[in-house]
Amino acid sequence: MVIAMFDDAELRQRAWDVAATVVDPEIPVLSIADLGVLREVAVRDGQIEVAITPTYSGCPAMNMITLEIELALEREGFRNSKVRTVLSPAWTTDWMSEDGRNKLREYGIAPPQPAGSRRALFGVEQVKCPQCGSSDTEVLSEFGSTSCKALWRCKSCREPFDYFKCH
């Protein structure tokens, strides 16, 4: 087996790089590394253990992400890898990489605001339209096509758009 030639640190890095290629099935432009869902990759007795954290408690993508990680690792020669879910510290959109935010915007989804803003009881968020860049926007619904998104509308270009909620 190829991987026998590497020490643990190299194995860990290679496994991280493989796991980091897995994308969110609902937002396929973002990898689980961009999202901050991929938390840790460890090597235990020559086997890979990956820790991921859910975005939302009920996120239905977690099972699929787990399976995709196991398959990606298997394809690269890592046998019997384990994926476990960790809850703490709780995932926050502040972990999303700058690269991830740019990819989201280009995909047509407004990236999340800093997480403090969800505490306002009556909405005061200012979200820029990912299509035309205008700040003249309004919320249509706090809940969108997936748990992590809200539905907004741009009053300048009149296009509706998804907003990745801060969390």
Partner 1 sequence: MAVASIEISETPLVLYTLRRADDALILGHRLSEWCGHAPILEEDMALTNMALDLLGQARELYSYAGAVEGNGNDEDRLAYLRDVRQYRNLLLVEQLNGDFARTMVRQFFYSTFADLYWRAMMKSGDATLAAIAAKSEKETAYHLRHSSEWMVRLGDGTAESHARTQTAIDDLWAFTGEMFEVDPGERALIEAGTAVDPATLRPQWLKIISDVVAEATLTLPKGDWMQQGGRSGRHSEHLGHLLSELQSMQRTFPGVTW
Q: Which residues bind partner 1 (CB under 8 A)?
A: 54, 56-60, 87-92, 118-123, 140-145, 147, 151, 165, 167
- For residues 48 and 61, which CB has a smaller minimum distance to partner 1 in the complex? 61
Q: How far is the CB of 53 from partner 1 (least distance, A)?
A: 9
In terms of CB distance, is 73 or 93 closer to partner 1?
93
Is the distance from CB of 62 to CB of 91 less than 8 angstroms? Answer: no
Q: At what angle do helices 8-19 and 61-75 cross, to 10 degrees?
A: 130
CB of 34 to partner 1, least distance (A): 19
Rounded to a whole number of angstroms, the minimum distance from the CB of residue 154 to partner 1 is: 17
User: For 34-93, what is the HEC assignment?
Assistant: HHCCEEEEEEECCEEEEEECCCCCCCCHHHHHHHHHHHHHHHCCCCCCEEEECCCCCCCH
Instruction: Give the residue with the Cβ less far from partner 1, 128 or 149.
Output: 149
